[in-house]
Structure 1
Amino acid sequence: MTVVLALRCANGLVLASDSQITDPGRGLTYPAQKLHTLGAHAAWGGSGSRAVLYDVEQVFSREPDSILEAKDIGHALQARILPILKHHYANFIAEVPGQETGGTPATYVLAAGYVGDAPFIIDIDPNGLIGHHEETGFQAVGSGAAMAQQAHALVTHFHMSQRDVDYGVVAALRVLDALDASSPSVGGPMDICRITPEGAHHLSEDEVADVRGHVRRWVQLEQKALDGLFD
């Protein structure tokens, strides 16, 4: 199971993902990098076919500036992803002798970042359709997306869209850790990118560990408030 999520805050964006890959055809799970840079002010992540995502990564790494400088970033992303999807779909072998579990995973791409002071959260689905999520302020892709949406719904009353981006980083990690605890196919290490108009910063393992300390404090404060609810 994969989950990649994007969250909008008052002054920035957060893009986050788990790092566990599940290969049902071979019965394997292994870690893999799911978030990638997209120039200096954006990042992207994907779920689904690793072959497709590898090709997307090669194209995006060569052309980040032309994507971000395009009049319509959604169309720029779509124009680069569609030929890759069509190529893989056209050359996909549906049935392999001796392989009971076949099929190619549906591939989604989720990108977030800034062009000047304007934020964007855009996804491209397996049909090549474009989704814009700047106004709703949250989107998740991958087989764990529905669970991420539910987990996010449980923290909407904290109004992350009105808070500093550092709160969003903590909220994103809390959602991922909740999925890790509830689903054996979601696993760390967790990858987080903090994005502001000044640039995109991918957190190191030590920085993620510091954020997890804030998550624990958040949970402790909630428990303390609940303990005194009927005082």
Structure 2
Amino acid sequence: MTVVLALRCANGVVLASDSQITDPGRGLTYPAQKLHPLGAHAAWGGSGSRSVLHDVEQVFSAEPEAILQSENIGHALQTRVVPILKHHYDNFIADVPGQDTGGTPATYVLTAGYVGDEPFIVDVDPNGLIGHHVETGFQAIGSGAAMAQQAHALLAHFGMSKRDVEYGVVAALRVLDALDASSPSVGGPMDICRITPDGATHLEPEEVDEVRRRVDRWVELEHRALDELFD
């Protein structure tokens, strides 16, 4: 299971993911990097075929400025992702002798960042359709996306879209940790990218550990509030 999520805050955007890959054809799980830079002010993550995502990474790494400086970022992403999808669909062998299950080329791509002072959250689905999510303030892709959406809904009353991006970083990790605890196919280490108009920062492992301490503090404060609810 994979989950990549994007969350908009008052002054920034957070992109976060787990790092566990499932290979159904071989019955394996292993860690892999799912978040990647897209120029200096954006990042992207993907869910689905590793071969498709490898090709997407090559294109995005070569043309970040062309994508971010285009008049329509969604169309720029679509123009680059759809030919890759079509190539893999055309060459996919569905039935392999001796193999009962296997992967497919179906792949989702989620991007988030800034163009000037304007944030964006855009995804491309396996059909090549574009989704714009900056207004709703949240999007998740991957097989864990439904659970991530539910977790985000349970935190909606905290109003992350009106809070500083540091709150969004903590909320994103709390969602990922909740999925990690409830699903054996979501696993760490967790990857987080904090993005503001000044640039995108991919958190180091020790920085993620510090964010997790803030998550623990948040939970502690909630317990205290609940204990005092009927006082």
Q: TM-score, normalised by structure 1?
A: 0.99
State the 1:40 CA deviation: 0.1
The residue that corresponds to 1:2 in the other structure is 2
The residue that corresponds to 2:202 in the other structure is 202
C-alpha distance in 2, partners of 1:45/1:168?
17
Contact 2:23 2:103 in 1 (8 A): no
The residue that corresponds to 1:55 in the other structure is 55
C-alpha distance in 2, partners of 1:108/1:102?
17
State the 1:103 CA deviation: 4.2
Letter in 1 for 2:90: A
The residue that corresponds to 2:191 in the other structure is 191
SS in 2 for 1:112: strand
The residue that corresponds to 1:216 in the other structure is 216
C-alpha distance in 1, partners of 2:165/2:109?
22
SS in 1 for 2:166: helix
Encode CA deviations 1:6-64: one digit per residue, 9 max, x unaligned. Answer: 00000000000000000111000000000000000000000000000000000000000
SS in 2 for 1:217: helix
Encode CA deviations 1:144-177: one digit per residue, 9 max, x unaligned. Answer: 0000000000100000000000000000000000
SS in 2 for 1:56: helix
Any gaps of 5 or more consecutive residues in structure 2?
none
Q: How does 1:157-168 map to 2 (within 5 A)?
A: 157-168=157-168
C-alpha distance in 2, partners of 1:2/1:55?
19
State the 1:213 CA deviation: 0.3
Letter in 1 for 2:45: G
Letter in 2 for 1:64: P
The residue that corresponds to 2:15 in the other structure is 15
C-alpha distance in 2, partners of 1:20/1:48?
12
Q: How does 1:119-138 map to 2 (within 5 A)?
A: 119-138=119-138
The residue that corresponds to 2:143 in the other structure is 143
Encode CA deviations 1:168-218: one digit per residue, 9 max, x unaligned. Answer: 000000000000000000000000000000000000000000000000000
SS in 2 for 1:114: strand
C-alpha distance in 2, partners of 1:204/1:35?
13
Aligned length: 231
Letter in 2 for 1:224: R
State the 1:105 CA deviation: 5.1
RMSD between aligned alpha carbons? Answer: 0.6
State the 1:106 CA deviation: 2.2
Letter in 1 for 2:219: V
Is 1:70 aligned with 2:70? Answer: yes
The residue that corresponds to 1:28 in the other structure is 28
Letter in 1 for 2:131: G
- Share of identical aligned residues, percent? 82
C-alpha distance in 2, partners of 1:32/1:18?
9
The residue that corresponds to 1:84 in the other structure is 84
C-alpha distance in 2, partners of 1:179/1:222?
19
Contact 2:92 2:105 in 1 (8 A): no
Is 1:107 aligned with 2:107? Answer: yes
Any gaps of 5 or more consecutive residues in structure 1?
none
Deviates more, 1:133-142 or 1:102-111: 102-111
C-alpha distance in 2, partners of 1:90/1:9?
40
The residue that corresponds to 1:170 in the other structure is 170
C-alpha distance in 2, partners of 1:152/1:224?
22
Contact 2:24 2:103 in 1 (8 A): no
C-alpha distance in 1, partners of 2:207/2:75?
34
SS in 2 for 1:189: coil
